[in-house]
Amino acid sequence: MKHWLTAAVSTALFATLAPTAWAQDALPHADAEVRRVDTRANTVTLRHGDIKNLDMPPMTMVFQVKDPAWLQHIKAGDKVRFTADKVGGNYTVMSLEPQPPAN
């Protein structure tokens, strides 16, 4: 009984956590240049390449950010790699990695 209960709890926990983790990992990355950072509105304007999961061609647009602290580490002109998704009707940056400057 104890082994069965442990397996059931582990399976339930995995089923609860895994879809969120998979969804984050499944988002394709895109490259972009930061055009503007607005810490008051928690937004970043990016000139980006294709965002495949959103069927979005290259363009410049404003995104919400999942974590406003990210905005403290970027500035206009920086190159970044990011993922985005539509959250609550808003296009939102879900992950953000500053890229090293080109030599």
Q: State CA 75 to chain mean position distance.
A: 17
Residue of higher predicted confidence among 19 and 94: 94
pLDDT tier for residue 9 given thresholds of 50, 70 and 90? very low
Q: Are strands 90-98 and 59-65 parallel, antiparallel or unpaired?
A: parallel
pLDDT tier for residue 5 given thresholds of 50, 70 and 90? very low
| Per-domain residue ranges of the chain | 29-98
Chain segment 16-63, per-residue pLDDT in tens: 444 443 345 589 999 999 999 999 999 999 999 999 999 999 999 999
Q: Do the beta carbons of residue 18 and residue 67 sit within 8 Å?
A: no
Give the list of residues 6+ apart from residue 9 with CB closer than 8 angstroms, or none.
none
* Domain 29-98 class, CATH top level: mainly beta
DSSP 18-78: HHHHHHHHHSPPEEEEEEEEETTTTEEEEEE--BGGGTB-SEEEEEEES-GGGGGG--TT-
- Give yes or no for residue 85 having a pLDDT over 90: yes
